[in-house]
Amino acid sequence: MQSVTASLRYIAPPDQPVVYNASTAGANAQLDINVPFDDRRVDVFNARELAPTPSLEREGFSLVNHNTAVDDFYALADQLADYEEELRQLVLAATGGKQLMVFDHTHRSDSAQIRGQQQTREATALIHNDYTESSAHKRLGEILGAEVLDEYKDKRFMIVNLWRSINGTVMRSPLACCDAQTVVEDNVIAAERRTADRIGELELVTYRADQRWYFYPQLRFDEALLIKTYDSQPGGAAKRAIHTAFEDATAPLNAPPRESMESRMLVLF
């Protein structure tokens, strides 16, 4: 199977509570964390060659076709309702869920110039997962109301990201996802996530040699990557897919900057 060897950024095993200060949008957007990084050379395999193809239930991520009607993602407000209906239909079909709420859209670029012009955030080159057990349930309560939290102690819900290019094919800073079947809970570290107006949690990761990483080379504008970031009842299936941006050394020297958007969705079963 084809692969590229890349430097992926873990955190060193922490000796203190981990605090992650999220970036603000703009040219100088960058993450800030209170523990040392642990950069490792890792083989990242071509997920397009996997058989059977990766799934949300098994690996925690999957590739879908997505022919959107949106023609300008920087003016998404003009077509927001239509785009979110596209997402609703696509993700309910992919997950088998009964209800879906879209609650966030985040634009990113690995170009400081584009970030400055469009006030977007950086491509996050740190292995992470967006939610912990605690922060996922907190988000559920914020969206549906705190009174439903007891109800969902025994019901399944999921948080899914749809990650896509918003300008051409992704050549630089692609997204790598780790097969959830190769992730051991001892390597997953809950971290406090701070922004100017919110304190939450996310998961960061320490290195383990048998973690297996994949990416979709040259992700097209008519494709999208679904990433499971929380599942309340995974059973034997994937609970989440840890993921990160990385530098692909095989990308052409004149490759255009990555411009992407992730949309976060709550799926109810």
Q: Report pLDDT digits (tens) over 21-58.
A: 888 788 886 778 999 999 999 999 999 999 999 999 99
Q: What is the pLDDT of residue 236?
A: 67
List the chain domain ranges. 3-268
Question: What is the residue type of 71?
Answer: D
| Confidence (pTM) | 0.95
50's enclosing H/E stretch is none
| Residue in this structure with the two tokens 């939610």, named with its chain if needed | 131
Q: Say which DSSP state 102 is in.
A: E
CB 8 within 8 A of CB 42: yes
Backbone angles phi, psi at 55, to 5 degrees: -135, 155
Q: What is the pLDDT of residue 152?
A: 81
Percent of the chain with pLDDT over 70: 99
Q: What is the token pair recorded at 168? A: 């051409």
pLDDT(128) > 70: yes
Task: Count CB neighbours of 263 within 10 A.
Answer: 21
